[in-house]
Amino acid sequence: MVSQEYIALDSLCLVQYILYPSNTLLAPEGIMAILISNGIPGKAVSSALDDEVRWTDHLGLVRQLLHACDECLIVSPFLASEFELLLEGVKLSDTRVELISTCAARGSDQLTKPTALKAFGQTVRRSTGEWPTIGLDKALHSKVYIFRLGGMLFAGIVTSANFTVSGLQRNHETGVLIQSPEILQQLENRCRASIDYVSLAEWQIDKLCQAAEIAGRSKPKEEDREIGLTSLLNLYAAPSAGNRETRGPLTSSRCLAFETGRFCQSIAGASQSLMESSLSPKNQRECGWVIAYWKSRLAARASLEPVHNLSFPG
């Protein structure tokens, strides 16, 4: 029996599909898509791979597509803690990997995401020999997986499943497999258009990890916390063309980044009086734990890497 349904593609768009048997969806334009649900067997014929792909959950499908592609884009706000388990049996040696995630003041995300980003980068580098392309979208909620082979887009998944074992295998998650190159190109462009910080290197993620480790000693994890990672990203990470918050006029967040930069310069110069005067009274109260930590470091005359090439407006 044929019926019509509206399928929400996870905050990206709302498309009306005609639902056919065997989990097959046909959009009004004639674009084919296949439903994916954890625990429900599915199959699809890929003309690009010249083979039939079968799965019982998102994880099985993603692993097969990762194994077959030479380029992939993973878009997921939540990330696994152990990527070796997630990518078990997947050959990535000749694959270019790109990740778009988030590091928002949402729950304990800023305390845990930096280590997950670093673990992801290190896992990919062990397999490919190269650090992956990592970008951050501060408002990200979409979960998208896009695959290329020989430069051609051949498969993509829009789903509710995060890039975690729970999301891809255990939870009740549903998505659609899309094979239209035209739709996949639009999807890829839309995902990248919302990036706030581009091409994070390992040293930049290390700075986030250090801040998260310090904040984790005294900050509770039950509520949303902004621990200063946004300021660090504004200082060290390359903003995207659409990231108006760090490229436009001197907004409040830019002022905070400016003051934090002066604060870092004072630390590099080992001047405690300048360190205390670099932050406004309000930010001194909010960043009291930071000031206390660096005071102890300065008191111990610990050697710190100087901050070079910082430029500020005015």
**Beta strands at 96-101 and 133-136: parallel, antiparallel or unpaired:** parallel
Q: What is the pTM of this model?
A: 0.69
Q: How far is Cα 206 from Cα 204, in angstroms, rounded to an integer?
A: 5
Same structural domain for residues 80 and 152? yes
Same structural domain for residues 39 and 85? yes
Instruction: Determine the length of the chain.
Output: 314
Q: Is residue 127 part of a domain?
A: no
What pLDDT does 85 receive? 84
Q: Is residue 83 part of a domain?
A: yes
Same structural domain for residues 189 and 224? no
Same structural domain for residues 190 and 269? no
Q: Is residue 200 part of a domain?
A: no
Query: Are 226 and 290 contacting, i.e. CB atoms less than 8 angstroms apart?
Result: no
Number of domains in the chain: 2
What pLDDT does 241 receive? 72
Q: How far is Cα 164 from Cα 248, in angstroms, rounded to an integer?
A: 35
- Choosing from 180, 195, 210, the residue where a domain stops is 195
Q: Is residue 205 part of a domain?
A: no
What pLDDT does 244 receive? 60
Same structural domain for residues 190 and 284? no
Same structural domain for residues 87 and 178? yes
What pLDDT does 22 receive? 47
Q: Is residue 306 part of a domain?
A: no
What pLDDT does 294 receive? 52
Q: Is residue 311 part of a domain?
A: no
Same structural domain for residues 272 and 155? no
| Blockwise average pLDDT, block size 10, the chain, 314 residues | 40 39 45 85 83 92 93 96 85 93 89 95 93 96 96 96 95 95 95 94 95 81 73 83 55 46 45 47 55 54 42 38
What pLDDT does 302 receive? 43
Q: How far is Cα 153 from Cα 182, in angstroms, rounded to an integer?
A: 9
Same structural domain for residues 60 and 190? yes
CB atoms within 10 A of CB 301: 8
What pLDDT does 52 receive? 86
Same structural domain for residues 141 and 249? no
Same structural domain for residues 169 and 222? no
Q: How far is Cα 93 from Cα 149, in angstroms, rounded to an integer?
A: 14
- Choosing from 160, 195, 230, the residue where a domain stops is 195
Q: Is residue 118 part of a domain?
A: no
Q: Is residue 208 part of a domain?
A: no
Same structural domain for residues 47 and 175? yes
* Domain hosting residue 77, numbered range: 3-102+137-195
Same structural domain for residues 224 and 149? no
191-230 per-position pLDDT tens digit: 999 999 999 999 999 999 999 998 888 766 566 677 788 8
Question: Domain of 85: which CATH number?
Answer: 3.30.870
